[in-house]
């Protein structure tokens, strides 16, 4: 990925072209709403997506909407803190950290397959003979990433719940080797190809395997529910604008607008966020030493 990402590589505005053809009276009296996006994959694609969604939001909200790509979560939170950004999109773990750090407010939760939450699982090959977490003692395992909720922290916590380790720091001693493969798919492929005995990943991660591989794997443990990614706001954002933004985003659930969800990391829809739903994530972050 050599698109050089700086804190504000690109500023796209959905309002410039709009002004020419659709004069909106409110525009002249409103300051722009700024959205900070964190790249999950190809940043070039994300730039195009931002342009499309910010244009639509601008039209619907009647205020200029600007979107930009930040280099990482820290940059997005920093932008929220200093007012360079009003809104951002992140996972449950970064959100609870941002909440603790700057008082970020959860607005909307992503919906996948009808639910605003998902789980993490421990996957193994069906022919491996592994049927329980205890069978993985001394065996190699691949996780997605050390800061991934469903791709590390939650699946690993299942070993603690099963009484096999007392805490994260005992994981190294329990397993043979722990690998961080770089993503769900890489972790699942490592398991499916027999490079490791198991993989810890999102409940849907087996769908990342080939259709031929999918029947060859199964899962032996599943974590409690993990809140889906969340749309957050800086604490000082104007309450009226915040409410209208939420209302507008919820319209993406309507069939006529649903295709636009692909511009926003591709959820199936949004529901209003429930701050209480993140309590377990806060606990998890504290236990992992990520939150004091």
Site residues for another protein, 185-244, by CB under 8 A, read: 185-186, 189-190, 192-196, 202-215, 218, 226, 228-229
Percent helix, strand, coil in the chain, to 5, is 45, 20, 35
Give 15 or 85: the residue with its C-beta nearer to another protein.
Answer: 85
Residue 88, interface with another protein (CB under 8 A)? no
Total residues at interface with another protein (CB under 8 A)? 76
Applying CB under 8 A, among 67, 94, 106, 155 the residue interacting with another protein is 94
Q: State the helix-helix crossing angle for 154-161 and 279-287, rounded to 10 degrees.
A: 80
Strands 65-69 and 269-272: unpaired
Give 163 or 211: the residue with its C-beta nearer to another protein.
Answer: 211
CB of 193 to another protein, least distance (A): 6
User: Residue 23: which residues within 8 A CB-CB, separation 6 or more?
Assistant: none
Site string for another protein, 150-179 (x = CB under 8 A): xx--------------------------xx
CB of 135 to another protein, least distance (A): 19
Tell me how crowded residue 113 is: count the other CB atoms within 10 A of its CB: 8
Sheet holding 217-222, edge to edge: 178-180, 141-143, 198-202, 120-125, 217-222
CB of 203 to another protein, least distance (A): 7
Give 27 or 178: the residue with its C-beta nearer to another protein.
Answer: 178
Binding residues for another protein restricted to 57-76, rule: CB under 8 A: 72-74
As a whole number of angstroms, the longest Cα–Cα distance in the chain is 67
Residue 183, interface with another protein (CB under 8 A)? yes
User: Residue 11: which residues within 8 A CB-CB, separation 6 or more?
Assistant: 66, 68
């Amino acid at each position: 990925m050599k698109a050089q990402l700086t804190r504000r590589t690109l500023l796209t505005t959905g309002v410039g072209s709009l002004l020419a053809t659709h004069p909106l009276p409110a525009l002249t009296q409103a300051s722009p709403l700024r959205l900070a996006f964190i790249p999950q994959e190809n940043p070039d694609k994300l730039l195009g997506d931002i342009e499309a969604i910010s244009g639509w939001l601008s039209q619907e909200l009647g205020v200029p909407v600007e979107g930009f790509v930040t280099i990482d979560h820290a940059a997005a939170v920093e932008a929220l803190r200093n007012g360079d950004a009003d809104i951002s999109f992140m996972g449950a773990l970064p959100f609870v950290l941002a909440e603790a750090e700057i008082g970020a407010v959860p607005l909307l939760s992503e919906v996948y397959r009808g639910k605003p939450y998902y789980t993490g699982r421990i996957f193994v090959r069906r022919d491996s003979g592994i049927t329980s977490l205890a069978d993985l003692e001394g065996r190699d395992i691949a996780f997605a990433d050390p800061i991934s909720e469903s791709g590390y922290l939650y699946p690993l916590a299942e070993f603690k719940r099963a009484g096999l380790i007392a805490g994260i720091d005992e994981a190294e001693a329990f397993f043979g080797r722990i690998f961080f493969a770089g993503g769900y798919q890489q972790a699942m492929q490592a398991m499916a190809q027999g490079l490791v005995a198991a993989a810890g990943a999102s409940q849907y991660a087996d769908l990342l395997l080939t259709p031929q591989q999918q029947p060859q794997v199964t899962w032996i443990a599943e974590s409690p529910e993990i809140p889906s990614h969340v749309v957050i706001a800086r604490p000082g954002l104007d309450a009226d604008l915040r409410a209208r933004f939420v209302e507008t985003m919820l319209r993406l659930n309507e069939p006529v607008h649903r295709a636009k969800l692909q511009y926003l990391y591709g959820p199936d829809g949004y529901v209003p966020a429930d701050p209480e739903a993140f309590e377990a994530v806060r606990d998890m972050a504290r236990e992992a030493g990520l939150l004091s």
